[in-house]
């Protein structure tokens, strides 16, 4: 501001000088430069050869001081040479996140690479600068100055992608479909799901053994995975799942189960779901979202698009003050816990003495989620709010459509694609509660008409009883893919089932597969349909009857001709019936 004012004052002074000179020239035909320069304190050359021509050409604007162009560069690089130097700078590994301008320039000037586009003049100009980057020509430094971002992407593309640019204050916004203007999301419009590796170990009861730790102490120990779903509007946690598998992993079925649990809990479905890559965009999960009518927004490799990332950080902070043992956040902080974990898995120490139990860990996670849902949020773009209160207020003002419970089969543990064989039977292999894979056979009368069709078999081998839901995996005759073929299809063979007794202890029970097979076979025999036709003496159809024998009973339906004849007979007999009724009444 001060510089602009100074430039304006200088321009006004120059304008007065030029006006006075032009006025004297007009009055006397000449300017007495000796007295004029002494009066104004300026030089004749500045007034006569610079200021007057600029003023006559463009006015007062021409008298304002402009930025000096400075000394011309010693050499002007071609575009090909500049790109070549930039490429060498990116490859040079001199400092953390940066390269070496001098090394890249001197390497280009001294090597005879066939792809080197530098001219002899450019090579000489670089070599004459010495080994200091401050002596390099301006054009050479400018060619490599903006390549630091390229250097970071060249060395570690993942870090460059995670730390890339994003627009703050837009992640909780959307475009209104009616007005076309940007507005804040309503509750339930957009959810986001992600996983977080819990950094404290948990003792899980495991009476079946199978490893040194469970054989000796009856528990297995690990960190496992915390899966969570948040409402994007205010970071309200809708549901979470603590998945315990070998190698601390999770699968697509765990994500579908979490989604189904969240939809059933709130009673509606969101319009959009933000998901990262991997299992969150697997074929099974995408089909689940498609069947539920939810639009998937891919956030693969873009963590700034997921509000759940900082949410996990706040959850870990809350858990660190609530859980037995510290939660390491950086490399080297978990060495003591890792050593204890290895000893516990080897059976050398009792993990229950140093790690929290499963019940204690679940209580701590539930407390941390509720703590975060009721904590106040501060934002420059959205103001202050509490996740729970803001969610309840918004969902009451903008309710969402109800969730169809018929889609629950998409969240079952197993989903296997097979072909219907033996006139209404499917056989699939899955891991049983006993820890090994075995065959499961399913059959029902509804499968008889889908022989040789490719179908999806959805079932849970841990359930009691073991039943399946079967849908078409590919179009079959006039039925499109995804058609529900049969629901609650029983398992025919004797299967191991997980049941819980009155005390609350889980036990393994064996289902009666033989009895179920006999029952299904009898039902299949009852599924018969007959089309009966009778002809009169003149050859015309007298009656048509459709007889359907199904498990729920036998039904008969008259044909059109027979039904019309029966109605005509009733109409003809109606007057006589009415006469008899009147006579009886009198």
- Residue 284, judged by CB atoms within 10 A of its CB (0-12, 13-18, 19+), counts as middle
What percentage of residues in the chain have a pLDDT greater than 70? Answer: 71
Identify the helix (H) or strand (E) that includes residue 55: helix 52-58
> Is residue 21 a contact partner of residue 52, using CB atoms and an 8 Å limit?
yes
Question: What is the average per-residue pLDDT within 424-431?
Answer: 84
Residue 554: its pLDDT value, please? 44
pLDDT band with cut points at 50, 70 and 90 for residue 118: confident
> Is residue 410 a contact partner of residue 458, using CB atoms and an 8 Å limit?
yes
Lowest pLDDT segment from 81-95, 448-462, 572-586: 572-586
Q: Report the distance separating Cα 497 and Cα 517, nearest Å.
A: 17
Q: Is the pTM of this model over 0.85?
A: no
pLDDT band with cut points at 50, 70 and 90 for residue 393: very high
CATH topology of domain 184-397: Nucleotidyltransferase; domain 5 (3.30.420)
Q: What is the phi/psi pair of residue 113, to 5°?
A: -70, 130
- 319-376 pLDDT, tens digit per residue, is 877 765 555 555 556 677 788 888 888 888 998 888 888 888 888 889 999 999 999 9
230 forms beta bridges with 192, 237
Cα distances (Å, whole numbers) of residue 500 to 19, 332, 506, 507: 104, 42, 4, 6
- Of 526, 532, 578, 584, whose CA–CA distance to 553 is shortest? 526
Lowest pLDDT segment from 11-20, 169-178, 319-328, 534-543: 534-543
Better-scored residue on pLDDT, 526 or 392: 392
97: left (phi over 0), alpha (psi -120 to 50) or beta: left
pLDDT band with cut points at 50, 70 and 90 for residue 316: confident
- 10-52 pLDDT, tens digit per residue, is 788 888 888 888 888 888 888 888 888 888 888 888 888 888 8
Q: Report the distance separating Cα 49 and Cα 401, nearest Å.
A: 80
Total count of residues recorded for the chain: 586
Q: Report the distance separating Cα 254 and Cα 516, nearest Å.
A: 30
pLDDT band with cut points at 50, 70 and 90 for residue 125: confident
Residue 418: its pLDDT value, please? 92
Residue 456: its pLDDT value, please? 92
398: left (phi over 0), alpha (psi -120 to 50) or beta: beta
147-156, 160-169, 448-457, 512-521, range with greatest mean pLDDT? 448-457
pLDDT band with cut points at 50, 70 and 90 for residue 149: low
> Is residue 240 a contact partner of residue 311, using CB atoms and an 8 Å limit?
no
Judged against a pLDDT cut of 70, whether residue 521 lies above it is answered with: no
Cα distances (Å, whole numbers) of residue 57 to 43, 44, 51, 52: 21, 19, 10, 9
- 226-252 pLDDT, tens digit per residue, is 899 999 999 999 999 888 876 667 888
- Of 394, 384, 389, 27, whose CA–CA distance to 185 is shortest? 394
Which DSSP symbol is given to 401?
P
Identify the helix (H) or strand (E) that includes residue 40: helix 33-40
Taking residue 74's Cβ as centre, other Cβ atoms within 10 Å add up to 13
Joined together, the tokens standing for residue 526 give: 């009852």
**DSSP codes joined into one string, 471-504:** EESS-BTTB-TT-EEEEEEEB-S--EEEEE-TTS
Q: What is the phi/psi pair of residue 506, to 5°?
A: -80, 135
Identify the helix (H) or strand (E) that includes residue 550: strand 541-550
- 188-201 pLDDT, tens digit per residue, is 999 999 988 777 78
1-5, 23-27, 469-473, 485-489, range with greatest mean pLDDT? 469-473
59: left (phi over 0), alpha (psi -120 to 50) or beta: left
């Amino acid at each position: 501001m001060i510089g602009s004012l100074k430039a304006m004052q200088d321009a006004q002074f120059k304008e007065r000088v030029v006006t006075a000179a032009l006025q004297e020239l007009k009055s006397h035909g000449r300017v007495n430069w000796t007295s004029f320069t002494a009066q104004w304190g300026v030089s004749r050359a500045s007034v006569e050869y610079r200021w007057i021509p600029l003023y006559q050409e463009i006015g007062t604007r021409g008298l304002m001081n402009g930025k000096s162009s400075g000394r011309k560069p010693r050499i002007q690089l071609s575009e090909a040479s500049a790109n070549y130097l930039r490429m060498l700078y990116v490859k040079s590994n001199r400092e953390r996140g940066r390269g070496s301008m001098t090394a890249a320039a001197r390497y280009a000037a001294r090597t005879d690479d066939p792809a080197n586009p530098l001219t002899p003049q450019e090579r000489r100009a670089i070599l004459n600068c010495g080994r200091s980057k401050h002596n390099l020509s301006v054009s050479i430094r400018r060619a490599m100055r903006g390549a630091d971002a390229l250097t970071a992407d060249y060395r570690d593309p993942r870090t460059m992608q995670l730390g890339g640019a994003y627009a703050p204050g837009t992640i909780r916004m959307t475009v209104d479909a009616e007005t076309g203007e940007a507005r804040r999301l309503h509750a339930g419009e957009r959810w986001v799901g992600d996983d977080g590796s819990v950094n404290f170990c948990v003792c899980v009861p495991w009476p079946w053994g199978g490893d040194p730790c469970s054989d000796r102490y009856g528990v297995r120990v690990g960190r496992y995975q915390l899966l969570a779903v948040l409402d994007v509007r205010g970071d309200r946690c809708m549901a979470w799942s603590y998945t315990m598998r070998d190698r601390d992993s999770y699968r697509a079925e765990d994500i579908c189960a979490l989604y189904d649990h969240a939809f059933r809990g709130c009673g509606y479905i969101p319009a959009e779901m933000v998901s990262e890559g991997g299992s969150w965009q697997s074929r099974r999960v995408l089909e689940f979202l498609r069947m539920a009518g939810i639009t998937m927004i891919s956030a693969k490799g873009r963590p700034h698009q997921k509000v759940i990332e900082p949410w996990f950080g706040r959850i870990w902070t809350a858990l660190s003050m609530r859980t037995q043992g510290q939660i390491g956040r950086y490399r080297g902080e978990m060495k003591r816990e890792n050593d204890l974990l290895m000893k516990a898995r080897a059976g050398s120490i009792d993990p229950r003495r140093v790690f929290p139990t499963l019940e204690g860990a679940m209580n701590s996670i539930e407390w941390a989620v509720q703590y975060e849902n009721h904590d106040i949020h501060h934002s420059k773009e959205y103001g202050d709010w509490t996740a729970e209160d803001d969610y309840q207020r918004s969902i009451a003002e903008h309710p969402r459509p109800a969730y169809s419970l018929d889609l629950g089969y998409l969240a079952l543990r197993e989903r296997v694609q097979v072909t219907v064989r033996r006139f209404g039977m499917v056989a699939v292999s899955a891991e049983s509660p006993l820890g090994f894979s075995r065959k499961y056979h399913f059959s029902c009368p509804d499968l008889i008409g889908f022989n040789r069709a490719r179908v999806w078999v959805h079932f849970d081998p841990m359930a009691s009883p073991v039943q399946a839901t079967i849908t078409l995996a590919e179009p079959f005759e006039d039925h499109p893919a995804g058609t529900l073929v049969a629901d609650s299809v029983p398992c025919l063979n004797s299967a191991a089932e997980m049941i819980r007794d009155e005390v609350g202890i889980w036990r393994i029970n064996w289902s009666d597969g033989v009895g179920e097979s006999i029952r299904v076979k009898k039902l299949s025999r009852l599924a018969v349909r007959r089309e009966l036709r009778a002809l009169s003496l003149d050859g015309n159809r007298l009656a048509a009857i459709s007889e359907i024998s199904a498990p729920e009973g036998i039904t008969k339906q008259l044909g059109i001709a027979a039904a019309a004849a029966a109605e005509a007979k009733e109409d003809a007999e109606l007057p006589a019936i009415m006469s008899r009724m009147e006579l009886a009444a009198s």
